């Protein structure tokens, strides 16, 4: 009966080290330690107990280790330790594209020469703008004609 204690203890230590690897960034050092502990435990089981017991423990390791890794990754994905995949309006985030769409048909003036890109002042805000290829001098009245992605497209205003 005492032959089982050390290998089982090493298996538990290996599992705990894998769990620690999920939460502690060690660049794989803890994984190497866990694998070493697992292999040493298997060596002890095969040499001191029996081949059948060794096969059972090896099978359990093959099943348990991936299950623990997947379980840990799911827990880690929901924890506050990781970044969210997507920011939403509920988080108070407004995309630039939505913000810029409010500028359509709004008048302003070019702050710099637009050749064809430059700075403009629209609604008392300085923003980067582009034209459809025409050059516009500084301090010229402009109007926003469209938004393409994160670009504000302007043209001369009459």
- 11 and 63 both lie in a single domain: yes
- 63 and 123 both lie in a single domain: no
> Which tokens hold the place of 97?
């594209």
Structural domain total, the chain: 2
What range defines the domain where residue 107 resides? 93-156
CA distances to 74, 75, 103 from 128, rounded to whole Å, are 41, 42, 12
Q: In angstroms, rounded to a whole number, what is the distance separating the alpha carbons of residues 142 and 151? A: 15
Of the candidates 143, 65, 86, the one whose C-alpha atom is nearest the C-alpha of residue 109 is 143
Q: For 14-69, what is each residue's pLDDT tens digit?
A: 888 887 887 787 888 988 998 899 889 889 888 888 899 889 988 988 898 788 77
Which one of 23, 48, 78 terminates a domain? Answer: 78
CATH number for 150: 2.40.50.140
**Helices 29-44 and 51-78, axial angle in degrees (round to 10):** 160
pTM, two decimals, is 0.47
**Helices 29-44 and 5-23, axial angle in degrees (round to 10):** 170
> Which tokens hold the place of 80?
């506050």
Instruction: Please provide residue 117's backbone torsions phi and psi, each rounded to the nearest 5 degrees.
Output: -110, 155
Is 87 domain-assigned?
Answer: no
> Residue 99: which pLDDT band, with cuts at 50, 70 and 90?
confident
Q: In angstroms, rounded to a whole number, what is the distance separating the alpha carbons of residues 128 and 120? A: 6
Is 83 domain-assigned?
Answer: no
User: In terms of C-beta density within 10 A (0-12 exposed, 13-18 middle, 19 or more buried), how is residue 10 classed?
Assistant: buried
Peptide bond into 116 cis (omega under 30): yes
- 111 and 67 both lie in a single domain: no
What percent of the chain has pLDDT above 90? 34
């Amino acid at each position: 009966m005492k032959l089982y204690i050390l290998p089982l203890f090493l298996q538990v230590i290996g599992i705990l080290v894998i769990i620690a690897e999920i939460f502690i960034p060690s660049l794989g050092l803890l994984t190497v330690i866990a694998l070493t502990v697992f292999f040493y435990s298997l060596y002890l089981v095969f040499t001191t107990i029996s081949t059948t017991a060794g096969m059972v423990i090896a099978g359990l390791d093959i099943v348990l280790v991936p299950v623990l890794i997947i379980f840990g990754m799911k827990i880690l994905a929901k924890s506050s330790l990781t970044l969210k995949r997507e920011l939403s309006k509920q988080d108070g985030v407004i995309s630039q594209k939505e913000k810029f769409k409010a500028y359509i048909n709004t008048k302003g003036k070019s702050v710099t020469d637009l050749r064809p890109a430059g700075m403009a002042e629209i609604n008392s805000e300085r923003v980067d703008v582009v034209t459809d290829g025409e050059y516009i001098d500084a301090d010229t009245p402009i109007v926003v004609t469209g938004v393409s992605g994160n670009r504000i497209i302007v043209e001369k205003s009459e």
